[in-house]
Amino acid sequence: MKSLTIPVRAGAPRRTYRITIAQDLTADLAAHLESLRKGSRAILVSSPKVWELHGPRLAAGLPETPCVLIPDGERAKRLRTVNLLFDRLVSLNTDRQTTLVVAGGGVLGDLAGFAAASYLRGIPLVHVPTTVVAQVDSAIGGKVGVNHPLGKNLIGAFYPPAAVLTDPQFLTTLSAREFRAGLYEVIKYGVIDSPSLFERLESTLPAILSRDPRALLPIIAACSRIKARVVSADEHETGERRILNFGHTAGHALEAITEYRRFRHGEAVGHGMLAATAIATTRGLLSKSHSKRIVTLIEQTGTLPALNDLSAAACVDATKRDKKVVRGTLHFVLPSAIGRTKIVPDVTPRELTKALRDLGMRA
């Protein structure tokens, strides 16, 4: 696959932006920006780690473009970091004809995207995602924001980018842990929407884990297509888009109670998917055979961080502050088969506690 373009409908009035997936796309960043016609100036935003690994490539792709480096990681995903970025944008005389090009993972994309949505009430935004999670999920769909000490992503906006430019070569420098963490989000897409993607993961997991482009590119494309279709139909998460939260209810709670220190986002989602699968199986909503396949694929992808020192009660309490709570009711995404889900409003604290205890958490 030399190059693939996937349209995404977004915004009011409706408009379309595009996901472009291509090997070594970074070398042509300036040409891609020129084709967008969003202004004559760009500012690149990245993190020290990404810049250390890919700075020369990014600088060559966007020559004579100022670069702002800001802290990365879930603990930096807060308003204080956004203010640091605002300070730099002001000092660089950023105006509404300046495009913010964000090269980084999901945290950086969310944070800098929120800055783009807020600065001057909105400046053009282009995502250049550098992790698996960002390439298959967070860079697509226009969700931007930061964490609050009491909950993940509680402060944010829907702000679609002008483009998403995906270069799989960035994935070659990810740590093994970071790469595997991103694959849990890929598994999510198979469970919620695509039996064929799930089967591909089952049959090619060793090649995917070895980062063989022939195995990796098709799954990036498949996830991008699913995300594009879902968010095009439901940009503001009032209906179908809620299925994308499979695994995220308990996952976000785990991140919150550990103060964003222990888990990669995908690892927390992995635990969350196991909890949701267990609840669905106990309810009789999901067959034991499909449950076993989901659990096996998650386990084969990698060893998740232990939970045995964490409180299930604290995790359940944290779900009450989840942004998916509506009028006091938490809407939980449960799998009903590989490729199908059901959104239910009646998962009880007792059910969730049992599922978390079965994963190894204490009372």
How much is the pLDDT for 329?
75
- Of these residues, 127, 265, 290, 293, which one is catalytic? 265
Question: pLDDT exceeding 90 applies to what percent of the chain?
Answer: 87
Is the per-residue pLDDT at 189 higher than 80? yes
Report helix, strand or coil for 186.
helix
> Is residue 142 a contact partner of residue 158, using CB atoms and an 8 Å limit?
yes
CA neighbor of 29 nearest in space, from 3, 55, 62: 62
Active site residue 185: yes
Could you tell me where the DSSP H helices lie in the chain?
Answer: 29-36, 48-61, 79-91, 106-118, 132-133, 176-193, 195-209, 213-233, 248-257, 265-283, 288-301, 312-319, 349-358
286 — phi, psi (to 5°)?
-120, 135
- Examine the pLDDT at 325 and tell me if it is beyond 80: no
Mean pLDDT of 335-342: 98
pTM check: above 0.85:
yes
Q: What is the pLDDT of residues 17-39, one digit of tens each?
A: 999 999 999 999 999 999 998 87
The residue type found at 59 is: A
Q: Is 248 a catalytic residue?
A: yes
Q: Which residue has the tokens 């919150």?
A: 256
How large is the greatest C-alpha to C-alpha distance in the chain, in angstroms? Answer: 59
Contact between 153 and 147 (Cβ < 8 Å): yes
The pLDDT confidence band at residue 328, using thresholds 50, 70 and 90, is: low
Q: Does the active-site annotation cover 237?
A: yes
Is 10 within 8 Å of 231 (Cβ atoms)?
yes
Question: Is residue 252 flagged as an active site residue?
Answer: yes
Q: Is-catalytic flag, 34? A: no
Ordered by where they begin, the domains of the chain are 3-173 (3.40.50.1970), 183-358 (1.20.1090.10)
241 is catalytic: yes
- Among the listed residues 200, 225, 227, 271, the single catalytic one is 227
Instruction: Judge whether residue 12 has pLDDT over 80.
Output: no
Choice among 2, 121, 261, 350 that is catalytic: 121
Distance between CA 259 and CA 263 in Å, rounded?
A: 9
Token pair 């070594």 in the structure block, residue: 24
Q: Report the pLDDT averaged over residues 36-52.
A: 93
Do residues 171 and 135 lie in contact, with contact meaning Cβ atoms separated by under 8 Å? yes
Give the bridge partners for 342, in sequence order.
Answer: 334
- pLDDT tens digits for 94-105? 999 999 999 999
Identify the three-state secondary structure at position 149: coil
Cα atoms in the 13 Å half-sphere on the side-chain side of 331: 17
Rg (CA), the chain: 20
Handedness of CA 60, 22, 138, 210 (dihedral sign): negative
Q: Is 338 left (phi over 0), alpha (psi -120 to 50) or beta?
A: beta
- Could you confirm whether 227 is annotated as catalytic? yes
- Of 147, 153, 200, 237, which one is the catalytic site residue? 237
Active site residue 38: no
- The whole-angstrom distance between residue 221's C-alpha and the CA centroid of its chain comes to 15
Q: Contact 75/256 with Cβ under 8 angstroms?
A: no
7 C-beta neighbours (distance < 10 Å), count: 12
**How many residues are there in the chain?**
363
Q: Which of 38, 245, 264, 271 is catalytic?
A: 245
pLDDT tens per residue, range 141-184: 999 999 988 888 899 999 999 999 999 999 999 999 999 999 99
